[in-house]
Amino acid sequence: MEREFSAEERARASAYHRPLYLALLADVALGAGLLAALAWSSLGDWLFSPLTSLPPVAAAAAYAALVTVLSSVVRAPLACWRGWWREREWGFSTQTLGGWLGDRVKGLAVSVLLGAGAWAAAVALARAMPGWWALPAGAALALAVLLLSFVAPVLLEPLFNRFRPLDDETLAASLRRLSERAGVPVRDVLVADASRRTTKVNAYVSGIGRTRRVVLFDTLLRGADPAAVEVVVAHELGHRREGHVAKLTLLAMVGAAVAVLVLWAVLGTRIADPRTLPEALLLLLALELAALAPGAWLSRRFERAADRWSLELTEEPAAFARAHLELARRNLSDLEPPRPVYLLLFSHPTAPERLALGRAWVEART
């Protein structure tokens, strides 16, 4: 990696990322601390007290909404620092504070709706069938995950971004050819107006079945050379080709069902009491944390597979290298994350690792 990134670039990326890792840790601690206080101190009783006269299922929905809002408010200052203030300091955010808050309120509204619905359903099921509520609850949550994966691109993503078809005819035609070579004809290559928020560049695939799409940040199309854009799209087509969204959705469904079983094993029939919500959320948080390392490992595996596809499809290792250098520089990606951070959080290989993969691909062919 000495060849690609200067010592100064590596140090600058570290200086940007290290405080963010600490802030993330602090955020998890803050969230867990609040849940613990709600579960085992009088704070929980105080927050629940206005709801005691409601029927249990209605109280469950309302309590879930209250806990979600309270957690968001408590964590807001730190979230604002790392999500907006610091992003502006480093020249990435293009948002006003009002714009950032608007996003946060929209995200919170989605969380409140989903959380209140899920908790009300759990409490209702635990009351209706105390012995075996986990069975229908696990199945229902798995189905909800599937449904969310299907509707997210058409219902959730448009809450935060506008999408338009790629209007550059030449580029669109070459991307279509690429998708035919990949054997995954694309229904849609869309451009998201990410520049309303950030100067960072990215692309992703989302949706399943009829809602499948490849999405490019408009920031990616500014400046990057067309060959590099092709590399990025070929990578996303690699994800499509390998069915990564579907596989991850399936895994999330299994994970959701397992999580319900753990809740059932630990909390049993106590779920019928809406006040056990903080305990349930703490358990879910613990499961999430336990799933971080295996999840990141699997994701990095998928990313390497998609990178190999992008090389196979474009056969332009030089453009591959240019694209990843450009992505890493424009996003100020961490080039040498601390090992625990890499193992727990890195859903993608580092830029030096991806460049090495490109070199290995060339060597394997010669």
Provide the binding-site residues for Zn ion, judged by CB under 5 A.
303, 306
Using alpha carbons, select from 77, 65, 164, 72 the residue that is nearest to residue 117: 65
Nearer to Zn ion, 118 or 306 (CB): 306
Min separation Cβ 227 and Zn ion, Å: 18
Nearer to Zn ion, 237 or 306 (CB): 306
Q: Which residues, in sequence order, are bridge partners of residue 281?
A: none
Half-sphere exposure of 331 (CA within 13 A, CB side): 19
Alpha-carbon span 355 to 320, nearest angstrom: 8
Rg of the chain (C-alpha set):
22
Residue 164's H or E segment, with its range, is strand 163-165
Min separation Cβ 299 and Zn ion, Å: 8
Min separation Cβ 239 and Zn ion, Å: 6
Reduce the DSSP state of residue 189 to 3 states and report it. strand
Answer yes or no: are the C-beta atoms of 67 and 280 closer than 8 Å: no
Q: What is the DSSP string of 27-60?
A: HHHHHHHHHHHHHHSHHHHHHHGGGTTS-HHHHH
Alpha-carbon span 353 to 139, nearest angstrom: 39
Nearer to Zn ion, 303 or 334 (CB): 303
Min separation Cβ 238 and Zn ion, Å: 8
Nearer to Zn ion, 303 or 316 (CB): 303
Using alpha carbons, select from 120, 146, 140 the residue that is nearest to residue 57: 120
Min separation Cβ 53 and Zn ion, Å: 50
Nearer to Zn ion, 126 or 327 (CB): 327
Nearer to Zn ion, 48 or 309 (CB): 309
Min separation Cβ 86 and Zn ion, Å: 25
